[in-house]
Chains A and B, each alone.
Chain A
Amino acid sequence: MSKESKDLAAKAQWDSKRVLSLVVNNALMIIMIIAAIAIAIVNPNFVSASSIVNIISQTAAYLPAALGIAGCIVLTGTDLSAGRAVGLTACISASLLQVAGSASKMWPNIGTLPIPVVILIAMAIGAVIGAFNGFFVGKFKLHPFIVTLGTQLILYTILLLYVKMGNNGGMAISNLDESYNSFVKGSILPKIAGQTIPNYVIFAILLTALMWFIWNKTTFGKNMFALGSNEEAARVSGVNVLMTTIMVFSLAGAMYGFTGFIEGARIGSNTANTGLNYELDAIAACVIGGVSFVGGIGKISGIVIGVLMLRLIFIGLTMANINQDLQYLIKGGIILFACALDMRKYLVKK
């Protein structure tokens, strides 16, 4: 009898321990959901249709870059050049899609290019930037932090020079062709609850599906995870480590290129500061979504949730009338908290 009750007690204790660890492991999500509910109570507009569509749209805008950078994090790396890559491809996309014949057109001799061509150009430029990063990381075994820090600076100069080229002279690149605007910001979907859902939400969904497929169903995806988990194991098993690294960074670059194309129209007025610090939001979203810096761990669904949570909080802070100056403090706190929680899973207690 006493043994039985002891066993029962042991079981109950184990259960409460398990519940506790479940709560701690998901603490960030729980806190964010509580925060969202609190904001909704303070300002009921937070859960209005327009606000929800706004949150979804912003999530869609930031998602592709996060999906790209997540691959670099799976390889125990990072990518600091993402923001500048977005900026450069945004400016290039915008400059190629200005209204023909307008006085401020950057390249008056080029008409308005077909949109698919511009998407390809933006993604190709992004992919080349990524391949450059991946080559240095894979070939010379440099830490991605260093490589992409260097690339980030190099890209900034290229960006500064680019916006001074042609007829532009350092002005913001605007006056975009209507086809570009409607392709990105227009909607082919019927209105839902009176709200327009922009096309770039659809693009984000398609890209998410594509990335899910690449991560989970292809040899490249499996090689990427193996490489992030144990590079040496991948090498002795015959994985082409250099090529896989280059491809991961290159794919990330293509995602920044696509983000740049979207941002060009979404923002509408593109300067050398477009895309600044995008990588920080993307990295934060990945970390919140459980893509671990330990390497070899991460899920597409986690990244989507991470980006969504981050947007939810930022938009919520504004709607709850909280001082905007606090947003960086909250961002920083979230990153530290998320990383500490993440590491906790991998620490073995002795």
Chain B
Amino acid sequence: MEQPALLEMRHISKEFPGVKALDDVSLTVRPGTVHALMGENGAGKSTLMKCLFGIYHKDGGEIVLDGKPVDFRSSKEALENGVAMVHQELNQALTRSVQDNLWLGRYPTVAGGLMVSEKIMSRRTQEIFRELEVTVDPKAIMSTMPVSQRQMVEIAKAVSYDSKIIVFDEPTSSLTETEVEHLFRIINMLRDRGCGIIYISHKMEEILRISDDVTIMRDGQWVATRPAAELTMDEIIRLMVGRELTSRFPPKSNKQGDVILEVQGMSGRYTRLKEASFQLRKGEILGIAGLDGSGRTEVLENLFGVMTREGGSIKLHGAQIENRTPREAIKNGFALLTEERRATGIFGIRNIRENTVISNLKSYLMGGICLSDKKMKEDTDWSIQAMRIKTPSQSTEIRSLSGGNQQKVIIGRWLLTKPEILLLDEPTRGIDVGAKYEIYQLIINLANEGKGIIMVSSEMPELLGVCDRILVMSGGRLAGEVNAAETSQEEILTLAAKYV
């Protein structure tokens, strides 16, 4: 390539005790291009970026920025040298205002640095927002704003550093489609200015649309760098997984039986769910689609007693049940895999065994007092085998496992309570392609065993590929119901926009 590179990371290596996290990885970003970085979770994308930012100290290799070798010791140093990052997990001071967050770490001062100038801060914030067409009140307190707006603030912040290199780490995970278009406009603008963009995402459609080059990593190693124009989705998957994935979804074999669950007019007291009615059959996989904030999660959490119901009835095998609290729901044979695995799913610093048995402790009681280590060990062994969890041992801290394996541990946890109805909220979020397939297989197997499954997902292909029927939520209401085998993405999207 005749253009000189803006950023070159050459032969970067990083070792953690027992793991080679990065092994001779190179990445070259040209000015005025978007360079996508892809790989399964645990492939080393984040580690590579953390080495760039000085959050981790690299063991080997060199980084050249604009022709000069650099070695940042902190994110502050990286920012000052024109390298900024939009973090995947929103790192914001929620009790503070938008502009306080935007200028955090570099407040404009007057009076010889003694005083922060709100005036300059406010003016610059408005300038940036105008330039990026962001419509957010600079004085609004962060915690009062929806996640997508907070994400736009984070993006504006990265842009405001006048950076030469901007890293976007999964920026679209909480954005609606209109906002994604907005983000792409911003990225194109930055590209035209000559910035180098590193774009990390799992969403292949996005990658193929927005990026110029694609680098693919696997197991801490560089696999390939190709122009995006020469790649197809299947090719990317093949490079990421390292083997052919003949299909993204396993064949469906579940058979439906009688109606087991009947929900009539369910509404939330504090949440926006209104008058949802539906049925679930034995052995059926029922999908719930909808945009973010449409009330998908609310259906599951109202059903499970996490949220307070305002009205409506739930009938299990024709008998009225209440499910006022999760405890009651579990007794009635429900299980809920929550949306935010790290926040409400795993007990990060506890080990696999404790994470596995936590919902089922009373069945390990001996004489009603003491827990049987032997039984807990057996059940955990069963879960590790049945779910095919990759872990060194039962006493490994769960946070050290990959997202997919953590998810399997939690599914295993719930299966031990012998549930009849499984509520799965985004079961494959933040899980890599290979592991997703295994989760789909697990879900289909469970339906085969006669469990009723309700599954919420924001990925439409996944709903179409795995579910039998799909309920579409819109603005807190049930907008329609479609047969997964006959519907199309277009039909679902139309329904999802019905009450917006």
Q: Identify the A interface with B (CB < 8 A).
A: 217-219, 221-223, 225-226, 228-230, 232-240, 294-297, 349-350
Contact = CB atoms under 8 A, between A and B. Distances in A.
A237 B78 CA distance: 10
Nearest to A226: B93
Given A238-B74, A238-B75, A238-B105, 9 more contacts: A217-B115, A229-B94, A233-B91, A237-B105, A238-B80, A349-B269, A349-B308, A350-B270, A350-B301
B94 A222 contact: no
Interface stretch (B96-104, B247-255, B395-403): B96-104
A141 to B, nearest CB: 14
A297 B95 contact: yes
A232 B93 CA distance: 9
A239 B105 contact: yes
A225 B93 contact: yes
Contacts of A225: 93, 95-96, 100
A218 B115 contact: yes
B92 A233 contact: yes
B76 interface: yes
Nearest to B114: A218
Contact of B307 (A223, A226, A229, A350): A350
Contacts of B85: 236
A238 B93 contact: no
Nearest to A240: B76
B116 A218 contact: yes
Nearest to B301: A350
Contacts of B104: 222-223, 226, 233-234, 237-239
Contacts of A228: 95
A223 B116 CA distance: 11
B359 interface: no
A350 B302 CA distance: 9
The list of the 6 closest CB pairs from A to B, nearest first, reads A238-B76, A229-B93, A238-B105, A237-B105, A296-B95, A233-B91
A221 B115 CA distance: 10
Nearest to A232: B91
B496 interface: no
A223 B105 CA distance: 7
A350 B271 contact: yes
B306 interface: yes
A240 B87 CA distance: 19
A218 B106 CA distance: 12
Contact of A233 (B79, B101, B308): B101
Contacts of A229: 93-96
14 contacts: A218-B114, A222-B107, A222-B116, A225-B95, A226-B93, A230-B91, A232-B91, A238-B74, A238-B80, A238-B104, A238-B105, A295-B95, A296-B94, A350-B301
Given A218-B116, A219-B116, A349-B270, A233 B75 contact: no
A236 B91 contact: yes
Contacts of B76: 238, 240
Contacts of B307: 350
A232 B269 CA distance: 34
A238 B91 CA distance: 12
Interface in B261-290: 269-271
A42 to B, nearest CB: 41
A237 B113 CA distance: 18
B109 interface: yes
Chain B interface SS verdict (over half):
loop
B65 to A, nearest CB: 17
A234 B79 contact: no
Contact of B93 (A218, A296, A350): A296
Contact of A219 (B80, B109, B308): B109
A233 B95 CA distance: 12
A238 B104 CA distance: 8
A67 B76 CA distance: 30
A218 B115 CA distance: 5
A272 to B, nearest CB: 40
Contacts of B100: 222, 225-226
A222 B91 CA distance: 16
B95 A234 contact: no
A117 to B, nearest CB: 26
Contacts of B113: 219
A340 B93 CA distance: 23
A217 B271 CA distance: 39
Given A217-B116, A223-B104, A226-B104, A236 B87 contact: yes
A236 B75 contact: yes
A316 B317 CA distance: 64
Residue in B74, B91, B307 with the greatest tally of chain A CB atoms within 10 Å: B91
B115 A230 contact: no
Nearest to B78: A238
A6 B112 CA distance: 59
A271 B74 CA distance: 48
A217 B107 CA distance: 10
B73 to A, nearest CB: 12
Nearest to A233: B91
A257 B113 CA distance: 27
A349 B95 CA distance: 18
A230 B94 contact: yes
A286 to B, nearest CB: 16
A75 B135 CA distance: 31
Residue in A219, A223, A235 with the greatest tally of chain B CB atoms within 10 Å: A219
Given A218-B114, A226-B104, A235-B75, A350 B95 contact: no
Interface string B163-186: 000000000000000000000000
Contacts of A218: 114-116
Interface string B105-143: 111010001111000000000000000000000000000
Interface string B65-82: 000000000111001100
A219 B92 contact: no
Nearest to A236: B75
A232 B307 CA distance: 30
A273 to B, nearest CB: 38
B116 A230 contact: no
Contacts of B115: 217-218
A238 B92 contact: no
Nearest to A230: B93
Nearest to B90: A233
B344 to A, nearest CB: 12
A239 B96 CA distance: 15
A240 B77 CA distance: 12
A168 to B, nearest CB: 42
Contacts of A235: 75
A235 B78 CA distance: 12
Contacts of B92: 230, 233
A226 B98 CA distance: 12
Contacts of B109: 219
Contacts of A237: 75, 79, 91, 104-106
Contacts of A226: 93, 96, 100-101, 104
Contacts of B106: 237-238
Residue in A217, A232, A236, A294 with the greatest tally of chain B CB atoms within 10 Å: A236
B323 to A, nearest CB: 14
B81 to A, nearest CB: 12
A136 to B, nearest CB: 22
A216 to B, nearest CB: 8
A197 B398 CA distance: 63
Contacts of B270: 349-350
